């Protein structure tokens, strides 16, 4: 906020302004960019030239406008300019996704795997997925600029450290360093983040949250987490622990939760709670959770009374949680992801009713409940978006990451 501006910083800032403008608004002429950003035309021309040299923008036909005069050449983000790689570790699966600056998915990878097999075994498999993505990008001629790993737990993003993932049974695992060593591409940065945060980032950039400044992405994976987007930015809290949606108290004297407290939302609307209420096997979850989830959804779709009632009750508690978050944060919308999206048709009516009943009259019409537009790959896709952020934030970096183009994979 209080950072001073100087000439070089101004140019570095403005080159990012232009790239983000085109990435966010789509192909347009230099004149249109100048008009919309308030930068003058000669500055925009010079910045666009720099971005074309960096391989991040390309010229593409002319702009059709109603104005007289010479039609301007349109510039667009260069699909081949840079790719980000997102990976996801979950209790039952590993996933990979690579996208370019235009949001096009260039690669997808998936493997059913038990995340609870321990960090060594899981990170070995994750590195195989990462290297497959790198090979695919190499074949497509798109240079990777980074890898970001989505994990279901608390993270120290600065240190690349997974602090605690109860659903995996992992504690203090230096995921970023361990994966970077296994992938073995010097100069290619590896970062980690919470899966709900990355899913929210994907929804913000390419999914149901596009165009929203304030929303809460409530993500049902091993537990229930939330990615909180405020002012168009991911909000992580003072220590990176924000968005513990599943561990908000909704029933103070209620059931004991795995976290040690009582009456957390997860004890009422977590996947295991819903499965148990519907009379499905509880057991170990993990790789089997997907099958049991599909079975629950099918039973509810078929009108099975026990399944429908269980989801209605779960939706009621979810609505209490949404109302609490709405009272504090006043978002434009909630986006449900993971198993919550899968079960949304059966959860949302009761959740919505409870949400409206608990809001002040003036607020009641406001936050909608949307389902994820990106489905189960949201978190990995958010990882790709995060990896690409480096270049959008500071396009000059694209010139420095070409080391990754040359490394054999």
Residue 369 C-beta: closest distance to a copy of itself, Å: 15
Smallest gap, in angstroms, from Cβ of residue 203 to a copy of itself?
16
> Is 137:157 a contact under the CB 8 Å cutoff?
no
> To 10 degrees, the CA torsion angle through 297, 299, 302, 307?
-100
User: Of 329, 373, 397, 407, which lies in the binding site for a copy of itself, with binding defined by CB under 8 A?
Assistant: 329
Instruction: Rule CB under 8 A: choose which of 117, 230, 287, 407 binds a copy of itself.
Output: 230
CB of 43 to a copy of itself, least distance (A): 8
> Which stretch, 75-83, 96-104, 356-364, 380-388, contacts a copy of itself (CB under 8 A)?
356-364
Question: Which of 42, 159, 327, 400 contacts a copy of itself by CB under 8 A?
Answer: 327
Q: Which tokens is 103 given?
A: 């949001």
Bridge partners (DSSP) of residue 368 are 333
Chosen residue from 78, 320, 378, 386 binding a copy of itself by CB under 8 A: 320
**C-beta of 38 vs 186, nearer to a copy of itself:** 38
> Which residue, 207 or 367, is less far from a copy of itself as judged by CB?
367
- Shorter beta-carbon distance to a copy of itself: residue 121 or 328: 328
Count residues near a copy of itself (CB under 8 A). Answer: 67
Nearer to a copy of itself, 111 or 330 (CB): 330
Q: Site residues for a copy of itself, window 243-272 (CB under 8 A)?
A: 243-245, 247-252, 259-262
Write out the binding residues for a copy of itself, residues 76-135 only, by CB under 8 A: none
Q: Decide if residue 45 touches a copy of itself (CB under 8 A).
A: no
Instruction: CB nearer to a copy of itself: give 124 or 330.
Output: 330
Contacting residues for 129 by C-beta, under 8 A, at least 6 apart? 87, 94, 95, 96, 109, 111
**What are 36's two structure tokens?**
């919309």
Q: Which residues bind a copy of itself (CB under 8 A)?
A: 1-6, 10, 13-14, 17, 20-21, 24, 37-40, 154, 163-164, 213-214, 226, 228, 230, 232-233, 235-245, 247-252, 259-262, 320, 323-325, 327-332, 357-363, 366-367
């Amino acid at each position: 906020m209080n950072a001073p501006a100087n000439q070089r910083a101004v140019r570095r800032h403005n080159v990012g302004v232009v790239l983000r403008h085109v990435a966010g608004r789509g192909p347009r002429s230099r004149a249109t960019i100048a008009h919309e950003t308030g930068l003058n035309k000669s500055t925009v021309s010079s910045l666009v030239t720099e971005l074309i040299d960096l391989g991040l923008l390309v010229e593409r036909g002319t702009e059709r406008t109603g104005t007289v005069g010479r039609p301007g050449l349109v510039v667009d983000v260069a699909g081949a300019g840079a790719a980000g790689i997102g990976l996801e570790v979950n209790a039952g699966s590993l996933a990979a996704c690579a996208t370019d600056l235009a949001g096009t998915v260039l690669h997808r990878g998936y493997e059913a795997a038990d995340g609870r097999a321990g960090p060594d075994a899981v990170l070995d498999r994750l590195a195989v997925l990462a290297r497959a993505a790198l090979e695919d990008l190499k074949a497509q001629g798109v240079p990777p600029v980074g890898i970001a790993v989505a994990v279901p737990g608390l993270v120290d993003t600065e240190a690349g450290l997974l602090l605690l993932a109860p659903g995996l049974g992992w504690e203090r695992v230096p995921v970023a360093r361990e994966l970077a060593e296994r992938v073995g591409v010097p100069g290619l940065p590896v970062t980690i983040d919470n899966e709900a945060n990355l899913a929210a980032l994907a929804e913000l950039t390419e999914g149901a949250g596009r165009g929203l400044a304030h929303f809460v992405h409530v993500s049902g994976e091993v537990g229930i987490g939330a990615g909180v987007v405020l002012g168009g930015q991911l909000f992580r809290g003072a220590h990176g622990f924000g968005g513990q949606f599943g561990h908000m108290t909704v029933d103070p004297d209620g059931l004991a939760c795995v976290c040690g407290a009582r009456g957390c939302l997860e004890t009422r609307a977590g996947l295991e709670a819903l499965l148990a209420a519907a009379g499905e096997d509880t057991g170990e979850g993990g790789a089997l959770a997907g099958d049991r989830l599909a079975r629950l959804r099918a039973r509810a779709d078929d009108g099975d009374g026990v399944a429908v009632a269980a989801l209605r009750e779960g939706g009621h508690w979810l609505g209490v949680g949404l109302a609490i978050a709405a009272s504090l944060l006043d978002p434009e919308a909630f986006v449900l992801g993971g198993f919550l999206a899968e079960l949304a048709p059966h959860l949302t009516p009761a959740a919505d009713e409870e949400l409206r009943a608990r809001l002040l009259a003036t607020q009641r019409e406001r936050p909608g409940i949307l389902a994820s537009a990106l489905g189960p790959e949201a978190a990995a896709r958010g990882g790709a978006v995060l990896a690409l952020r480096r270049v959008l934030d500071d396009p000059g970096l694209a010139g420095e990451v070409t080391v990754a183009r040359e490394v054999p994979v």
